[in-house]
Amino acid sequence: MTLSRREAAERVERLVETVERETMPVPVREVWVYGDLALGLDPVERIDVYLTKDLLFHGDAGREAEFVESHGVRGVGKTVAAEWADEHPGAIRANRNGHVAPEQCLAAHLLAPDEPIHLEVCNTGFENNVTQRLKGAVAREAYEQILDPRGVCLWIDGTRSETAFEKLREGDLIFPTLDDALAMLGMDEDEAREAADAVKAYRREQEGMTVRGDVV
């Protein structure tokens, strides 16, 4: 399944509108897009979206037991909003330990299982996480875990960038190749080329909706 560049840009715009208008499982602070859509490719094989989330500071911990009984998951009211769980009970997702997983809940709310979209969810901003993930990937020689640094901020703290959406639709954004971008972040040229190949190979293996939660 592929999308035209304009279709992909419109899909991301609908995602941002959902974040703006609907109750989220956790507060969302930033929405970025990176990868093929940011590069202006047409068609777009996969859409890569990055969300910066905040902790749930004003939850309702007293309702946790209610959701343990009804859904068999812990953490509703503490980790994700009970109000959201009331509105979207079918989107409640938990990790292997039976604790509600914010990134999986966000994915279930925002995406369809068969959509060619990868969702990254982290507690820190895109640019900071690019640096942190690069350091970790280099240390472990796990280059496929690198976060592509070529991203565009679409929405932050309730304000959307109309200019960014128009540039996505028109393919007007200009970025270096992935290996050049990694070299600009401090990798030597040979390592950057190897890392870029690993990222591309890993990405080709992904199908449908995928999600990753990260904590920095």
**Is 91 part of any domain?**
no
Residue with tokens 């600009």: 184
User: Is 68 inside any structural domain?
Assistant: no
Q: Is residue 210 part of a domain?
A: yes
Q: What is the pLDDT along the chain (216 residues), one digit of tens a residue?
A: 789 999 999 999 999 999 999 999 999 999 999 999 999 999 999 999 999 999 888 778 889 999 999 999 999 999 999 999 999 999 999 999 999 999 999 999 999 999 999 999 999 999 999 999 999 999 999 999 999 999 999 999 999 998 999 999 999 999 999 999 999 999 999 999 999 999 999 998 999 999 999 888
Count: domains in the chain: 1
Q: What is the largest CA-CA distance in the chain?
A: 55
Whether 178 maps to a domain, the answer reads yes
With beta carbons less than 8 A apart as the criterion, state whether 160 and 20 touch. yes
Helix H segments across the chain? Answer: 5-21, 36-39, 64-71, 82-87, 102-110, 126-140, 162-170, 178-184, 189-204
Residue 67 lies in a domain: no
Q: Specify the pLDDT at position 97.
A: 94
Can you give the residue range of the structural domain that contains 15?
Answer: 5-55+102-214
Q: What is the pLDDT of residue 87?
A: 96
Is 65 among the domain residues? no
Residue 44 lies in a domain: yes
pTM beyond 0.85, yes or no: yes
Q: Does the residue 75 lie in any domain?
A: no
